[in-house]
């Protein structure tokens, strides 16, 4: 009998193990089925544009296992991109409160919550979270990039310079940020406060950071002109040709103003002609024609404008030519030319003179930082030739 029991006990144990395994496996499968069903119900609510019900379903899932963390991170990011910041914050805060997340998951959640606060304009809260992550290897670069963006939004240019330098050590920023541009911002702030010496110092810093910073040269020229030092202003403006000829159109009007104040018209007209011939500067045709008219008469100005018709003809150039021709035409011709002038004016009103190479944003004045995508030095002059 004992021998039979000894034989049956292992069999019973194995049978019990199989039965228990089958029971728990069935229970586990049922739970998995319920979670999957709830997950797909949540997706259906999203597709049916019922985000409230979808959020309830996913929040229920949030408490049901570690495998749902990535799903909720994705959901929070989706809500943030849709502009539903409160929902994103709610999801990420629930994740922060969980005790079973590994370090990488905790850091990911903190980063996403920081992005929520940044999008909501809660810069203080966002800054605190990103500063926590600066020491975390996997998130160091991303946290530094967001801090750099945040300090630009708050116009804290010294901090922006500091964090730009930190980023340069590990790979740089996201949107073409440069310390040279930040020093230009500081120069403008100082000049507006009346501290001309500090402004000049910041311009020097900017050019040391980047000798090809066109903006620094233009700001320096404006400061010199404001103090009637036109020779110094001309020196600053002439640097633009070697820095980036694309922006010479920004230097033309200040150059003409400086030339008018220092005399020597013929020499200066020759320099402007050289720039125009060399670089086909948009908008320069009209200004050179006006300068020629003042210095050499309207015949020379009209001759110059007619020559441009065979090359890079612009709306501005045609408008000036039409205006000059009106002064020497009979009444009937003036009526026709007047209509042409009106057409040119309307075209100029509708024309965008600048465009961002990064996002396509169009505008009628230069922005060194695109108002749309926040990239630096991506807005360039647009040449519309006829």
pLDDT in tens, 285-331: 777 788 788 778 888 888 888 877 766 667 777 777 888 888 777 87
Burial of 219 by CB count in 10 Å (0-12 exposed, 13-18 middle, 19+ buried)? buried
Dihedral angle at the C-alpha atoms of 80, 81, 84, 86, nearest 10 degrees?
Answer: 10
Cβ atoms of residues 247 and 240 within 8 Å:
yes
Residue matched to tokens 């630009």 = 152
Residue of higher predicted confidence among 223 and 350: 223
Could you tell me how far CA 232 lies from the centroid of its own chain? Answer: 33
**pLDDT tens-digit series, residues 34-83:** 555 555 555 555 545 566 666 566 556 555 554 578 878 888 888 899 89
- In Å, how far are 197, 241, 253, 312, 342 from 384, measured between CA atoms? 40, 21, 19, 9, 18
Q: Residues 317, 305: contact at Cβ < 8 Å?
A: yes
> What's the CATH fold of domain 65-169?
1.25.40
Q: What is the pLDDT of residue 32?
A: 47
The mean of the pLDDT values for the chain is 81
What local confidence, expressed as pLDDT, does residue 282 receive? 58
Using pLDDT thresholds of 50, 70 and 90, give the confidence band for residue 6. Answer: very low
| Residue 146 confidence (pLDDT) | 96
Closest by CA to 183, choosing from 198, 168, 166, is 198
Q: Where would I find the beta strands (DSSP E) of 236-378?
A: 354-356, 362-363
């Amino acid at each position: 009998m004992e021998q039979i029991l000894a034989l049956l006990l292992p069999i019973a144990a194995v049978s019990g193990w199989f039965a228990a395994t089958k029971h728990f496996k069935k229970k586990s499968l049922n739970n998995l089925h319920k979670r999957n069903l709830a997950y797909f119900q949540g997706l259906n609510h999203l597709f049916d544009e019922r985000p409230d019900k979808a959020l309830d379903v996913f929040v229920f899932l949030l408490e049901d296992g570690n495998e749902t963390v990535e799903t909720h991170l994705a959901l929070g990011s989706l809500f943030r991109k849709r502009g539903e910041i409160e929902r994103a914050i709610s999801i990420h805060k629930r994740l922060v409160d969980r005790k079973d997340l590994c370090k990488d998951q905790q850091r990911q959640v903190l980063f996403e919550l920081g992005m929520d606060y940044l999008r909501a304009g809660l810069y203080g809260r966002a800054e605190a979270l990103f500063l926590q992550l600066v020491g975390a290897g996997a998130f160091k670069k991303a946290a530094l990039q967001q801090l750099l963006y945040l300090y630009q939004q708050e116009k804290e240019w010294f901090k922006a310079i500091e964090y730009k330098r930190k980023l340069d050590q590990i790979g740089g920023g996201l949107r073409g940020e440069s310390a040279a541009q930040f020093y230009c911002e500081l120069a403008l702030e100082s000049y507006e406060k009346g501290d001309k010496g500090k402004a000049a110092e910041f311009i020097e810093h900017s050019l040391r950071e980047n000798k090809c910073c066109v903006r620094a040269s233009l700001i320096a020229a404006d400061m010199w002109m404001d103090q009637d030092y036109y020779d110094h202003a001309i020196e600053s403006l002439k640097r633009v040709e070697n820095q980036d000829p694309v922006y010479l159109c920004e230097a033309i009007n200040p150059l003409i103003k400086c030339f008018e104040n220092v005399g020597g018209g013929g020499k200066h007209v020759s320099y402007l002609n050289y720039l125009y011939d060399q670089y086909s500067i948009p908008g320069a045709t009209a200004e050179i024609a006006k300068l020629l008219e003042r210095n050499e008469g309207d015949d020379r100005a009209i001759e110059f404008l007619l020559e441009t018709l065979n090359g890079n003809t612009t709306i501005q150039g045609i408008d000036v030519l039409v205006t000059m021709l009106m002064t020497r035409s009979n009444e009937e011709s003036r009526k026709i030319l007047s209509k042409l002038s009106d057409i040119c004016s309307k075209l100029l009103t509708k024309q965008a003179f600048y465009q961002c190479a990064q996002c396509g944003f169009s505008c009628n004045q230069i922005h060194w930082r695109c108002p749309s995508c926040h990239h630096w030095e991506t807005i360039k002059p647009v040449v519309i030739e006829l």
